[in-house]
Amino acid sequence: MQHTWIQDLPRHIGAEVTVAGWIHHRRAKGKLQFLVVRDGSGFLQAVLFAPDIAPAVFEAAEKLAQETSVLVHGTVRADERAPGGVELAVSDLNVISPSENFPISPKEHGDAFLLDHRHLWLRSRRQHAIQRVRNEFLKGCRDFFYDRDFVCVDAPIFTPAACEGTTTLFETDYFDQKAYLSQSGQLYMEAAALALGRVYCLGPTFRAEKSKTRRHLMEFWMLEPEIAFAGIDEVMHLAEEMIANLVARCLDRCAEELKVLERDTKPLQSVTAPFPRVSYEDAIGMINAAKAPGEPHFEWGSDFGAPDESAISARFDRPVFVHRFPAVFKAFYMKRDPDDDRLTLSADLIAPEGYGEIIGGGQREDDYDALLHRLHEHKLPQEAYEWYLDLRRYGSVPHAGYGMGIERTVSWICGIDHLREAIAFPRMLYRLAP
365 Cβ contact partners less than 8 Å away, ≥ 6 residues apart: 332, 333, 334, 335, 336, 371, 374, 392
> Quick one: pLDDT at residue 214?
78
- Residue 430 pLDDT: 85
The full set of domains in the chain, from first to last, is 6-97 (2.40.50.140), 118-422 (3.30.930.10)
CA distance linking residue 67 with residue 123, whole number of Å? 9
This prediction has a pTM of 0.93
Per-residue pLDDT of the chain (434 residues; tens, 9 = 90+): 799 999 999 999 999 999 999 999 999 998 999 999 999 999 999 999 999 999 999 999 999 999 999 999 999 999 888 878 899 999 999 999 999 999 998 788 899 999 999 999 999 999 999 999 999 999 999 999 999 999 999 999 999 877 766 668 899 999 989 999 999 999 999 999 999 999 999 999 999 888 877 778 999 999 999 999 999 999 999 999 999 999 999 999 999 999 999 999 999 999 999 999 999 999 999 999 999 898 999 999 999 999 999 999 999 999 999 999 999 999 999 999 999 999 999 999 999 999 999 999 999 999 999 999 999 999 999 998 999 999 999 999 999 999 999 999 999 999 999 999 999 999 998 888 89
CA 257 to chain CA mean position, Å: 15
pLDDT on residue 300: 95
Interatomic CA distance for residues 363 and 85, integer angstroms? 50
CA 79 to chain centroid, in Å, comes to 34
Q: Cα(325)–Cα(304) distance, rounded to whole angstroms?
A: 10
Are 133 and 251 in contact by the 8 Å Cβ rule? The answer is no
